[in-house]
Structure formats: C-alpha cells, structure tokens
Structure 1
C-alpha cells in the first residue's frame, strides 16, 4: 500500500493523504517517493482547482523526519534526505492551485514545514506542533527558518525556533499561523468546504491571485504592484471573466471553465 494516497472528492477538489500512521506519518524515503509520484499526477490534472493535504489517523499529521531511518544514515545521507524534504515542500508551495493543510494531529519539524508550504492551514483542536529541531542539535532545514518568519514575523519565528517551543492549534491561530481551529471530527469536512469555496471562483483568477501574492511578497511595493498588474492582465482575455459579467447581469451563479 502506498504511504501517500490521492483521491478526488470531485473533479475539482483533490485530497492527498499521508498514510503511514504506524510511524506518525513521518518522512521516510518511501513516503517522499510516493508523495512525489502523487504530485506528478496532480500537476498533470488540469481540472483540479484546489488540493487538501492531510494525514491518516488522529494522532499525527506528520512527525517530521523518520528518526529511526535517519539514525542509520551517514552525514552525507542525512544532508541529502533533508534536501529532499525541502524540495518536496517547495514543490507543494509552487503548485499552481491553492493548497489547504488539514492538520489532524502532531506536526513537528518537517511535518510543520510541509504545512508552511501550503496556502491555508486549518487544524484540529487536538493538534500540537512546533519546529523543534534545535532540541535535537540541528535547525529546521526544509524551509522552516524562512517560511515561518514570513508567516508570523521575525521575532515570533525566532522565539519558537530558538526555544524549540511546542504549541497547540489555539496558540497557532493566535500567532497567525493557523487560519481555523475545528473539532477533530469536522476537520476533513471543513477543509473540503474551504476547497469548495475556492473551486467555485474563477480558476484563472484564483491562480493569478496566488501567483501575485507569492511572487510579490518579498519585493518592494512598486515591484509587487507591477507583478500584480501582469497577473491581472492574464485574467482579462478569459471566457470566465465574460461569463462572470453575464452571470451578474442575469442574476445567476457563474459557470466557470478555467478558460
């Protein structure tokens, strides 16, 4: 059985699930291979409009690196494996469609770093998380030092990374990392509901909005506005834009095709 599964909720929404609950859904070499294989298929599916990323079981979303596997690695192998996790997170981050991390349980180290590569994060009330690498005498190496600071601010990122502080989903929401906290039984349903909200909007507009935000964020305001304008111009010649105007005139819901 694959350690990462993918299913279609409908033609527009996909659900990718880490499926290694007996090992806290940790990043083994096999899981990373299976994850990348699933991303190959997701990237080729031009019908998808949103992706939910979650995990099997109630205890763990992803505990990070598989420390049992790593204990038998050479220094060079450890560096290579961390690089693979980092590239995987970047690949998720660069998907053209929006991604929602539905954090069902513990998300530590690389597991939390995976959620940082997603566009939206919602979490179970029982979830615990943290970038705890300094307690293992290392640092977050799959993008955590960079993405956490961009999401919650420099001082807060230093606080959580340097102390290896663990926190719950409520605290995660308070610091702006988690957008919603829900009952465990409602997590998947709520993630699908958010994905449905996204999928109901114009696909080209959604993708261009994500691109404008991501590419403009680290630039000065003038450069960011220039990026926004280029992305906006990509939406003008689309059939969906004209359909939205027609639907408004006819007082009906638009039927977007992503064209």
Structure 2
C-alpha cells in the first residue's frame, strides 16, 4: 500500500516500520509522503489504540535525510522537500494516540528527531542516537532543538547538539531520553510489553491524557488545569467510562471500545 513503510496490526496497536533497510531507512521524499498518509489513516482507525514506530533491519532505525537523493536536487526542490519533511515530523508529533519509538540501531539526525517526536522511546543497548547536523553546516530541523531540551534540559541538549556526539541506547536511558533499554534480541518483547500495558486502558482516556500533557506543558498552570477539566469531562460522558466503572465494581477486566 505504501512504497517505503510497512504496517502490521496487532491487538489494539499497529507497528509502523520505516522500510528502506538498504538505505538504513533514510528519510526520502516518498517516505515523508508515506509517513503523513499512514499517520492520518491510523489516527482514524478506531481499532488502533497505540502505535510502535520502528525501522526495518538490525542496523538502523533511521539515519535521517537521504543525502544521496538530495545530490541531484535544486535549491528550490530542496526547499519544497524541506516543507514536506516538516509536515512528516508534525504528523508524528501531533499523532493523537500513544506512539512509542522502537530504536533498534542508528537513529541519527532526522531519525533521532522522529524518535523524539514520539511519546516514548524504547532503545536497544546497541543503538546509537545523535544530532550531527551542525557538522554539515545546518541545525536539527525536525524538532530536535525543541523536543530534546524539553526532555533532558537545555544544557544536556546543547551538549549533544553542539558536539554532534552519538550516545548509546544505554546512555540515552540513563539521561532520560529513552524510557526503556534492552538487548537488541529482546527489544520487540520489551516494546510490546510496554504497549500492552498502555493498551489495556481506555483509548479515549489515553488520547485525552496525551492531549493534556502535550498542550499543558506549553501553557500556564491555570490554563493547564482548565484544559485537564475539559478533557476529564470528555471521558466522563463516554461509554468507556461507564464500562470501566462497571468492570471495577464487578471485579472483571473492562471491555473498552473507544467510544
């Protein structure tokens, strides 16, 4: 269905795989188009409550922009591609459902930024993550200068951005960039465990909780509390809320429907 992406659906979640392993899953023009289309489709799929974003093969999650593709592009073409890339990053960061990056190998430049656009990161111990853009005369352009400081603070973020240094999956975990770390052979299991822990909960509540956290950190506390109250009321009048309360009283597992 998509040229550069594979989508595999499991119970209540989908695995979105960047599928250009021969190019280390580098971000091409077509991949950006595919990411935008996939995120839009999955946002509307009521059977998908969460998403795992991964990279094909064992070597790389995504090594950033496909510089070979850019070699033959004019400046105008690069500018248009850049606008498309921004839309692709925006499609991930604004995805309304929980999305977890499963970083199996190199996540460099835009690849690292795609992971940072997700809600959480599960990294292989063997993975390497970095933002090397300043060494190419540019800066991170997929939210790296914005998302990374929000996760680890300004000084640590500046250290990684100014030096272009790569860090391991283990270091990413120790710095608070990755939520979990595992040997590569156990990475899928570790990620699936986290996703199952998430998707046992009510999907509408997950979406509203994500909305509150993502928007709330950008506003003052009073506005954030108002946002939370509005989101709470949306959940309160849902069928899932009724089911959750009924299941609790009946001491059974709830059967959520996302309504």
- Whether these two folds match at TM > 0.5 is yes
SS in 1 for 2:155: helix
Contact 1:5 1:38 in 2 (8 A): no
Contact 2:103 2:121 in 1 (8 A): yes
SS in 1 for 2:218: coil
Pairing 1:182–2:212 present = no
Partner of 1:97: 97
How big is the shift at 1:122? 0.5
SS in 2 for 1:142: coil
Task: State how many pairs are aligned.
Answer: 258
How big is the shift at 1:2? 2.3
Partner of 2:17: 17
SS in 2 for 1:87: helix
SS in 2 for 1:176: coil
SS in 1 for 2:6: strand
Contact 1:83 1:142 in 2 (8 A): no
Partner of 1:65: 65
Which moved further from structure 2: 76-85 or 86-95?
76-85
Partner of 1:3: 4
SS in 2 for 1:53: strand
SS in 2 for 1:122: strand
Separation in structure 2 between the aligned mates of residue 189 and residue 80 of structure 1, nearest angstrom:
39
Unmatched 5+ stretches in structure 2: none
1:23-34, aligned counterparts within 5 Å? 23-34=23-34
SS in 1 for 2:115: helix
How big is the shift at 1:152? 1.3
Separation in structure 1 between the aligned mates of residue 199 and residue 212 of structure 2, nearest angstrom:
18
SS in 1 for 2:17: strand
How big is the shift at 1:145? 0.8
CA RMSD, Structure 1 to Structure 2 (Å): 1.3
Cα deviation code 1:1-40 (max 9, x no counterpart): 8211111113x11010011110010011122222223223
Separation in structure 1 between the aligned mates of residue 35 and residue 238 of structure 2, nearest angstrom:
33
Pairing 1:149–2:149 present = yes
Separation in structure 2 between the aligned mates of residue 173 and residue 207 of structure 1, nearest angstrom:
25
Partner of 1:37: 37
Partner of 1:167: 167
Separation in structure 2 between the aligned mates of residue 83 and residue 148 of structure 1, nearest angstrom:
21
How big is the shift at 1:251? 1.3
How big is the shift at 1:103? 0.3
1:41-56, aligned counterparts within 5 Å? 41-56=41-56
How big is the shift at 1:81? 2.0
Cα deviation code 1:97-116 (max 9, x no counterpart): 10010001100000011011
Separation in structure 1 between the aligned mates of residue 242 and residue 34 of structure 2, nearest angstrom:
40
Separation in structure 1 between the aligned mates of residue 142 and residue 77 of structure 2, nearest angstrom:
15
Cα deviation code 1:210-230 (max 9, x no counterpart): 000001111111111111111
Partner of 2:243: 243
Partner of 1:128: 128
Which moved further from structure 2: 111-120 or 65-74?
65-74
Partner of 1:158: 158
Partner of 1:212: 212
